Amino acid sequence: MTRSLSAKEHPMARKVKVIAHRGGREWAPENTMAAFRQALDLKVDGIELDVQRCATGELVVFHDDDVGRTTNGVGLVADISLGELRRLDAGSWFDKAFRGEQVPTLQEVLELVDGKCMLNIEIKNTPVSYENIEEDVVALLADYAHKESIIISSFDHYVLARLADIAPEYKLAVLNDAVVLDLPAYLARLGALYYHPGFDSCRADVVEECHKNGIQVNSWTINGRKNWSRSLDLALDGIVTDDPEDLMVYLGRAVAV
């Protein structure tokens, strides 16, 4: 009888990138400095976060278009000034230990990460549309010393096409949760070398086709050991997960924190 490989013995266990979804939603309030600090302490390969523009023009790290789910405030991010966002409690909804956690700016996160890991910046542009937000992101990244560690992704593929035109030096990733015919050609038209599909739509033949065309595949949001096992078998380049700590343990890559 052939013994099945443990996760630690799998040939992908040391290769696959562990990417903390919104900093790691399992252990801290999402998209907060507390989450990002813990991810860095764990020495993850990458951090994924979401960027929007607030009413006063700053780029802030926040997922939903409305602040109600993860703060004690109400209203759209786009309609709230940075000062007002700062006064919101972005931590208590998760646990009282995080009371007073603030909504961070992208600038603050860049200063914290400072090239310690890959940073996947997802530009949110639906359902609220932020005109020329990609230009704001590029302007903010101009002084970042670790541009090679940045991946910019979006579900708005027009944003990606615009980025390929104005800032071809950045790595771009197409976010998608549907089947795309002739995927490599589509990605090439957008100037993207990364494909970020939802895990439910992630197929072995698609991953293989991407790899044959030099495209890396990071899939989201993958939680639980059964799904991590399938991810290794799919030969994904990156696993975007809410629980990077347990994934690191599963892969035999845990570090003392």
pTM over 0.85: yes
How far is Cα 156 from Cα 171, in angstroms, rounded to an integer?
Answer: 15
Residue among 10, 63, 157, 211 flagged as catalytic: 63
Write 167-172 long-range contacts (CB < 8 A, 24+). Answer: 167/134, 167/138, 170/138, 170/141
Give the pLDDT score at 5.
61
> Which residue in the list 10, 21, 146, 157 is annotated as catalytic?
21
CB 240 within 8 A of CB 221: yes
Active site residue 146: no
Contact 50, 63 (CB under 8 A): yes
Integer-rounded Cα Rg, in Å, for the chain is 18
Q: Is the predicted pLDDT of residue 256 greater than 70, yes or no?
A: no
- Report residue 181's pLDDT band, with 50, 70 and 90 as the boundaries: confident
> Over the stretch 11-68, which tens digit does the pLDDT of each residue have?
999 999 999 999 999 999 999 999 999 999 999 999 999 999 999 999 999 999 999 9
**Phi and psi at residue 77, in whole multiples of 5°?**
-55, -40
pLDDT tens digits, residue range 69-87?
A: 999 999 999 999 999 999 9
Residues 6 or more apart whose CB falls under 8 angstroms from that of 100 comprise: 89, 91, 92
Q: Give all domains of the chain, ordered by start, each with its CATH number.
A: 7-28+38-47+115-250 (3.20.20.190)
What is the predicted pLDDT for the residue at 1?
Answer: 36
- pLDDT the model gives residue 4: 52
Annotated active-site residue 196? The verdict is no
Tokens 């997802």 sit on residue: 122
